[in-house]
Structure 1
Amino acid sequence: MSADLRSDSVCLGGSAPGAELPWEVLQTRMTDGLSAGVEVIEVRNGVFSCNVLPTRGMGIWTAHFGETRFGWDSPVKSPVNPAFVNLKSRNGLGWLDGFNELLCRCGLSFNGPPGIDEGNPSPIESDLTLHGKIANLPAHSVEMISNENEIGVRGIVDESTLFGPQLRLESSITSPLGSSEIRVRDVVTNLGSAPTELQLLYHINLGTPILGEGAKFACPASKVIPRDARAAEDASGYLEYLAPTSGYSEQVYFHETLTNSSGESLAMIQNSSGDCGLSLRFNKEQLPCFSQWKCTQALSDGYVTGIEPATNYPNFKSFEREQGRVVKLGAGESYTIDLVLNVLIDQEHVEEARKEIETIQGGNSCEVMLSPQLQYCSSE
């Protein structure tokens, strides 16, 4: 992002013990084109940095360790102000007009493909658009966090309407000083007086330089299921990635993840040489459903893969409701989610993550299904 696209406003700073550089939390605002008005908070912990977007639902745009960027090159080049995103456009796929983040939430009251959800308990929520509203709602009560151990930002995003859901996301995104970690804690609360439905998926996306021909995915699982006939074409090769391929059509795989004794699972994307990558730690009780998105199309079209822990699989909401995978939050109830993204900066760190994944897998076999399965995959 060039300097003429934003203006500095607020900065916190200090020294990070053992780090090469001081820590800093820098709040800025973009000023040009479709990005005009987008707030960016850059969290620099002394060795590692990430850019949080309060204007876009507390998503994370990019992260950097030294010269290595963790994110992807979307055809959408810069963060888009939600004022310029019409979720109803492009046959309900307008969400794609603002999609370019490393971490983007999908929800809160619905995610998955667009369509008419005739079984929705809220009649004004029956006309669904792709992946919901939360990524295109600005946060309020945004504040920068700093203490002797970590720095970051917190904010509140409300997804509320009259005669419909009243959901509040309270998010804190922090990084321990001198570490290569991003920690996300989200608490979603039903502010209404009646039960309501919750769907939440974390769309975590990587392109070059991590993604490339021969890059690999790893995650402990008991079962892997192709979402549709297209994914079934290459089900046996789900672990590896192609070079940018013109005309490639996306493939999605659903995973029944295994966990350690604490209920945690770990997924990883590594580059072809095994000396750089990104791992994601999540709790299966909080996020029981996991999807792997392979979209290795041409670079100019958006060469990317996604790892997506969620409360549900990204099928149409009515199908997920029928399968019992839509969370119901009672009046005043909250749902807490914790994630840890860890930048793997050398072969030692990649190998450490791989060994942990192998330990969680243990002696358990992984059944790779060669066709979609009814309880996981909607026929729509």
Structure 2
Amino acid sequence: MADYLHSYLGHDSQLFGFEEHRLCGGRGDGMRLLQAKNGKGLEFTISLDRCADISRMSFKGNNLGYFAPCGYVGPQYYDDNKAGFLKSFTAGFLTTCGLTAVGSPCVDEGEELPLHGEISNIPSEEAYYYIDRENQIPELVLRATIRQAKIFAEKLELRREIRCSTAVNEIKITDIVKNNGCKPSPLMILYHFNIGYPLLAEQARLFIPSDSVLPRNEHAEKDIAIWNQVLPPQADFEEQCYYHSFAKNSNKAFAAIYNPNIKAGLAIDFDTQELDCFTQWKMMGIRDYVMGLEPGNCLPDGRDVMRKKGQLKFIRPGEEVTYHVNLRIIENEYKYKGGK
């Protein structure tokens, strides 16, 4: 922050900073929420009791994410039976899926695995936040640890950092997963970014510069010609998923959406050497109106399918694996296709 601004401010929070709150009432009662704003129009909420995921995000008053009908649901209500995940799937702007299962419920080598794994329903530990003033431009920083560990099973630790500049509207997410156990563990992770109204509306333009697009099933295949078209809400819409592959000669990829009606959009940058899969979840239902833009190290077909295809990844004892995802607000409609 420029030194001259100190003359105008009683407290930095007039422009930027964090505020920690707790919810009262309902199934979210007691949940810790960390609200952040960067002073440039970007505001977001980190759900500390749900994997330090980003539950809400807005830019200059316009909401960017999707909030599911169940609303905030505390981790104590998590149902790990098959698709019970949906009972507490707040969605929000980001739900992290994993760390040993992503996608369809299944049985893999005798182990019953729920929809999208359990990491998003685990509260963070050792969570702390601060304003990093080491450089000339302050940055908002959140660090937290989430442990998916149990006796006789996996012992994984996710160390998450969320960093937001006060000079530009960008958020950097860095996740480090470590295997603290004594044997290799499957490692599956998917960043379930959920775009919602008013960013998501039929005027919005979706741009995913992939080399190929494959439908998940026959239902998705019948509409593959319009995979990138955002439709108005429709009754009884059946979800469609498309799998995108990116150029092999570059490890940089992105997906973007821009709505000229609100003069704002979002780009998601990721490294295909770290996250080599990308799923587009198209759900254009009434009140179930959401577009998922989901980089990951796997596809959401279930761990058994990934194993059969030889695509299941593992993390060795003592090994650490790092993932980076960057989020950028787009204000110029001529730039959204270039990802800049």
User: Normalising to structure 1: TM-score of the pair?
Assistant: 0.82
2:304 to 318, 322, 333: 318
1:134 to 103, 119, 128: 119
- Cα RMSD (Å) of the superposition? 1.8
**Counterpart contact for 2:216–2:241, Cα < 8 Å:** yes
1:249 corresponds to which residue? Answer: 238
1:28 to 21, 31, 36: 21
1:265 aligns with 2:253: yes
2:103 to 112, 127, 151: 112
1:64 to 17, 38, 58: 58
1:51 to 26, 45, 50: 45
Task: Output the CA distance in 1 between the equivalents of 2:25 and 2:170.
Answer: 31
Task: Output the CA distance in 2 between the equivalents of 1:295 and 1:313.
Answer: 17
1:86-130 C-alpha deviation (Å, 9 max, x unpaired): 121xxx11111222210110000111111222x2xxx5xx11110
Task: Output the CA distance in 2 between the equivalents of 1:352 and 1:328.
Answer: 38
**Gap change, CA 1:166 and 1:288, over 3 Å in 2:** same
What displacement does 1:214 show? 3.6
What displacement does 1:259 show? 6.9
Amino acid aligned to 1:38? M
**Counterpart contact for 1:202–1:310, Cα < 8 Å:** yes
What displacement does 1:274 show? 8.1
Task: Output the CA distance in 1 between the equivalents of 2:54 and 2:339.
Answer: 26
**Counterpart contact for 1:291–1:313, Cα < 8 Å:** yes
Task: Output the CA distance in 1 between the equivalents of 2:87 and 2:200.
Answer: 23
Task: Output the CA distance in 1 between the equivalents of 2:83 and 2:186.
Answer: 22
**Structure 2 residues without counterparts, runs of 5 or longer:** 1-9
What displacement does 1:145 show? 2.5
Amino acid aligned to 2:302? F
- Taking the TM superposition and a 5 Å limit, the aligned residue runs for 1:221-260 are 221-258=210-247
1:202 to 179, 188, 191: 191
2:182 corresponds to which residue? Answer: 193
Amino acid aligned to 1:37? G
2:84 corresponds to which residue? Answer: 94
**Gap change, CA 1:52 and 1:274, over 3 Å in 2:** closer
1:212 aligns with 2:205: no
Task: Output the CA distance in 2 between the equivalents of 1:73 and 1:272.
Answer: 22
What displacement does 1:271 show? 2.0
**Gap change, CA 1:39 and 1:251, over 3 Å in 2:** same
1:332 to 318, 321, 326: 318
Task: Output the CA distance in 2 between the equivalents of 1:246 and 1:163.
Answer: 45
What displacement does 1:281 show? 0.3
**Counterpart contact for 2:256–2:339, Cα < 8 Å:** no
Task: Output the CA distance in 1 between the equivalents of 2:62 and 2:248.
Answer: 30
- Taking the TM superposition and a 5 Å limit, the aligned residue runs for 1:152-191 are 152-191=141-180
Task: Output the CA distance in 1 between the equivalents of 2:256 and 2:249.
Answer: 16
1:49-85 C-alpha deviation (Å, 9 max, x unpaired): 11001100111011122211111142122x2101012
Amino acid aligned to 1:355? G
**Counterpart contact for 1:181–1:343, Cα < 8 Å:** yes
Amino acid aligned to 1:99? F
Task: Output the CA distance in 2 between the equivalents of 1:52 and 1:274.
Answer: 24
**Gap change, CA 1:238 and 1:142, over 3 Å in 2:** same
Task: Output the CA distance in 2 between the equivalents of 1:272 and 1:180.
Answer: 18
Secondary structure of residue in 1 paired with 2:49: helix
What displacement does 1:260 show? 7.5
1:153-185 C-alpha deviation (Å, 9 max, x unpaired): 111000011111110000011101132112100
**Gap change, CA 1:45 and 1:272, over 3 Å in 2:** closer
Identify the structure with the greater helix proportion: 1
**Counterpart contact for 1:14–1:23, Cα < 8 Å:** no
User: Normalising to structure 2: TM-score of the pair?
Assistant: 0.91
What displacement does 1:272 show? 5.6
Task: Output the CA distance in 2 between the equivalents of 1:255 and 1:274.
Answer: 27
Q: Report which stretch shifted further, 68-77 or 217-226.
A: 68-77
Total equivalences in the alignment: 325
Task: Output the CA distance in 1 between the equivalents of 2:98 and 2:28.
Answer: 22
Task: Output the CA distance in 1 between the equivalents of 2:336 and 2:293.
Answer: 16
Task: Output the CA distance in 1 between the equivalents of 2:103 and 2:120.
Answer: 13
1:320-350 C-alpha deviation (Å, 9 max, x unpaired): 1122222111110011011111122x3x2x4
2:6 corresponds to which residue? Answer: none
